[in-house]
């Protein structure tokens, strides 16, 4: 009788602790796996996550390329530029996500950008494991693919994909010749671009061009005077954020070398996703800057 009573008391104690902490005791065999994310934080992820939330295009793209799209229970609005993501459920935009939707979708793993602290905090409060990704340079793409794949148990497939990207980039790396044509790549609003130490700068350089904003670092907002002084030979706009005609009508920009030569081009936003599509993005830009060069990714 005493052993049975002690067993009952122990069971009650476990349940009371679970109610206080907001979680139940893990079942045998259901233990997760410890992974180190891009910010060097150790995260325990489920052994077999089934309801994944992706708030970053890199994770969305990688999961779809690995054939793991069925795990995506939600994405952010920006991930809709990824091929195959248009029919997925959108749970937020950037870091803005609703607690109720996360609970309703039963999210058991989330990928966020390293700077999305508000979203990470909300998800952590809901006991959702959060893996932070940092993929701000072309050289970081292969390891990011490996990390995402490992988190969902697709380690071998991710390794194959990562190696493929590395091999393609090796073939695409151009010989440096006089710095290449001067390029201005405009982001999501007028005069917004990116300097050195950035994925965008890597794209331009790998394609054989010279980023006119390379003297700065990170996100930059140029003035029209700075753009005129740099006089880019190529202007690249993102689809949905302006046309060549609209660009050339901005005050004074009609005098740019790129405008005069008809070298204002609209690029699919997908080519700016830091992921396995990097070689194709480089090839698309190289076809513009060096039409006679090899562009096969």
Are 152 and 269 in the same domain? no
d(CA 161, CA 105): 29
Phi and psi (nearest 5°) for 198? -145, 160
CATH number at residue 46: 3.40.50.1980
**β-strand 182-185 against 234-238: which pairing, if any?**
parallel
Per-residue pLDDT, 149: 98
Per-residue pLDDT, 9: 37
For residue 51, pLDDT beyond 90: yes
For residue 176, pLDDT beyond 70: no
pLDDT tens per residue across span 129-158: 999 999 999 999 999 999 999 999 999 999
- Asked which of 135, 168, 201 is the last residue of a domain, the reply is 168
The number of folded domains in the chain is: 2
- Asked which of 125, 146, 168 is the last residue of a domain, the reply is 168
Would you call 253 exposed, middle or buried from its count of C-beta atoms within 10 A (0-12, 13-18, 19+)? middle
Quick check: is 64 in a domain?
yes
pLDDT tens per residue across span 83-129: 999 999 999 888 889 899 999 999 999 999 999 999 999 999 999 99
Find where tokens 């996100």 sit: 219
Quick check: is 9 in a domain?
no
Radius of gyration of the chain from its Cα atoms, rounded to whole angstroms: 23
- Asked which of 143, 168, 193 is the last residue of a domain, the reply is 168
pLDDT tens per residue across span 196-225: 999 999 999 999 999 999 999 989 999 999
**β-strand 182-185 against 210-211: which pairing, if any?**
parallel
Q: Which residue did the predictor score with more confidence, 19 or 257?
A: 257
Are 239 and 131 in the same domain? no
Per-residue pLDDT, 199: 94
Are 126 and 217 in the same domain? no
Burial 62-81 (b: 16+ CB within 10 A, else e): bbbbbebbebbbbbbebbeb
Quick check: is 277 in a domain?
yes
Quick check: is 157 in a domain?
yes
Are 42 and 155 in the same domain? yes
Q: Which domain holds residue 76?
A: 33-168
Are 247 and 156 in the same domain? no
């Amino acid at each position: 009788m005493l052993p049975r009573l002690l067993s009952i008391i122990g069971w009650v104690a476990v349940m009371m602790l679970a109610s206080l902490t907001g979680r139940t005791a893990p079942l045998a065999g259901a233990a997760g796996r410890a992974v180190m994310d891009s910010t060097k934080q150790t995260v325990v992820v489920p052994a077999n996550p089934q309801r994944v939330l992706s708030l970053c295009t890199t994770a969305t793209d990688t999961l779809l390329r690995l054939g793991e799209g069925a795990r995506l229970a939600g994405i952010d609005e920006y991930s809709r530029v990824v091929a195959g993501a248009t029919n997925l459920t959108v749970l937020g935009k950037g870091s803005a996500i609703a607690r109720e939707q996360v609970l309703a979708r039963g999210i058991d793993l989330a990928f966020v950008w390293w700077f999305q602290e508000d979203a990470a905090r909300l998800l952590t409060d809901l006991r959702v494991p959060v893996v932070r990704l940092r993929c701000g340079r072309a050289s970081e793409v292969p390891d990011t693919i490996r990390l995402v794949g490992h988190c969902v148990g697709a380690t071998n497939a991710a390794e194959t994909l990562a190696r493929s990207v590395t091999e393609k980039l090796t073939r695409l790396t151009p010989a440096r010749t006089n710095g290449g044509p001067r390029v201005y790549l405009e982001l999501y609003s007028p005069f917004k671009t990116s300097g050195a130490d950035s994925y965008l700068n890597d794209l331009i350089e790998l394609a054989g061009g010279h980023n006119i904003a390379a003297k700065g670092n990170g996100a930059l907002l140029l003035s029209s005077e700075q753009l005129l002084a740099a006089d880019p030979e190529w202007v690249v706009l993102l689809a949905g954020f302006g046309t060549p005609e609209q660009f050339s009508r901005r005050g004074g920009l009609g005098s740019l070398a790129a405008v005069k030569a008809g070298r204002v081009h609209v690029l699919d936003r997908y080519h700016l996703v830091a992921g396995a599509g990097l070689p194709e993005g480089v090839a698309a830009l190289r076809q513009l800057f060096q039409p006679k060069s090899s562009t096969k990714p």
